[in-house]
Amino acid sequence: MVRETAVSPDDFIYPLFVTHGRGIKKEISSMPGCYQESVDKIVRSTKEIHSLGIPSILLFGIPEYKDEKGSSAYDERGVVQKAIKAVKDAVPELYVITDVCMCEYTSHGHCGIVEKGDVNNDKTLKLLAMEAVSHAKAGADMVAPSDMMDGRVAAIRAALDEAGFSGIPIMSYAAKYASAFYGPFREAAESAPKFGDRRSYQMDPANRREALKEIALDIEEGADIVMVKPALSYLDIISDVKSSFDVPVAAYNVSGEYSLVKAAGKMGWIDEKSIMMEILTSIKRAGADLILTYFAKDAAKILNG
């Protein structure tokens, strides 16, 4: 009766990795229980996700081809675009969010256009806007830019409005840290940078006040939901954001946070299910309204009893 925090499947957004081809469902070795799936297999998975009471998915693409400009990111026949259509046809009630970024689609693995060994912020904005519009055209319900370029929320908002998608909201990865917790994801999405790192565009894990500045800028530019990422080492940031702003707050319980628990669980060193529920509860308690988590299905099964 006096419990302050309740986690529900309603809080979850489940990330999925869609790859090209047919009949493919390949487990990601560092993320047991997560898969790269072709469009036909993703459709099957989304039926199960929906039946568990999880309202939403976040789509990442592993494209057929990569180039310097990440052209497959805004290709009408790209893998994410195809997946959006197929999922919305099969399970229309499932809310489909797409990750908007360049790193999965560029040959160098950076989140934007590279010039003289570094990402060119302003030239990248146009491509991100094209990617977001192509997702909306395919039927996405919301877009989620994760690249961390300055000004991208405004650029995407303007492009969506101009293309007739003023009703499509933006969830921005507003406070995204340059974190080693993304390690397993880069295997999953085949998006590790070929040189250097992402520290010129992602945030320094040592900074707390800067997160509030990044969030304020994104809200000013038109973000409807703001995200803190990763979640577990950044509960203070989630709490700060929740108390400082009045938009919904999402937290991304990222790949490394998932893999740690899965690995220790496999070794029999921890009680995996209890730890999973404790982690999700702590993220909610810190202030997250929405939790992006690879645990969504496992946790929903427990919560549904």
185 contributes a contact to ligand PBG by CB under 6 A: yes
Told to judge if 69 belongs to the known catalytic residues of this protein, a careful annotator would answer no
Report, in Å, the least distance between residue 171 CB and ligand PBG.
12
99 contributes a contact to ligand PBG by CB under 6 A: yes
- 293 sits in the region (left: phi over 0; alpha: psi -120 to 50; else beta) called beta
Annotated catalytic residue within 69, 88, 176, 284:
176
Kindly write out the interface string for residues 196-235 of this chain, putting x where it contacts ligand PBG by CB under 6 A and - elsewhere.
--x-------------------------------------
Q: Which 109-128 positions form the footprint of ligand PBG (CB under 6 A)?
A: 111
Report, in Å, the least distance between residue 15 CB and ligand PBG.
7
11: number of CA atoms within 13 Å, CB side? Answer: 26
- Between residues 163 and 275, which has the closer beta carbon with respect to ligand PBG? 275
Structure tokens given for 214: 């990044």
Nearest alpha-carbon partner for 177 in 193, 157, 197: 197
72 contributes a contact to ligand PBG by CB under 6 A: no
> SS3 of 192, please?
coil
Annotated catalytic residue within 66, 229, 242, 297:
229
Bridge partners (DSSP) of residue 226 are 172, 249
Report, in Å, the least distance between residue 58 CB and ligand PBG.
9
Given a contact cutoff of 8 angstroms between Cβ atoms, the answer to whether 79 and 18 are in contact is yes
CA separation for the pair 227, 170 (Å, rounded): 11
Binding part of the chain for ligand PBG, among 63-71, 98-106, 164-172, 205-213 by CB under 6 A, reads: 98-106
CA separation for the pair 305, 302 (Å, rounded): 5
Told to judge if 126 belongs to the known catalytic residues of this protein, a careful annotator would answer no
Report, in Å, the least distance between residue 89 CB and ligand PBG.
26
**Cα radius of gyration rounded to whole Å, the chain:** 18
254 contributes a contact to ligand PBG by CB under 6 A: yes
19 contributes a contact to ligand PBG by CB under 6 A: no
CA separation for the pair 155, 151 (Å, rounded): 6
Concatenating the DSSP letter of every residue in 69-121 gives T-GGGG-TTSHHHHHHHHHHHH-TTSEEEEEE-STTTBTT--SS-EETTEE-H
17 contributes a contact to ligand PBG by CB under 6 A: no
Using CB under 6 A, which of 84, 101, 156, 299 touches ligand PBG? Answer: 101
What does the binding site for ligand PBG look like in residue numbers (CB under 6 A)?
99, 101, 103, 111, 146-147, 182, 185-186, 198, 254-255
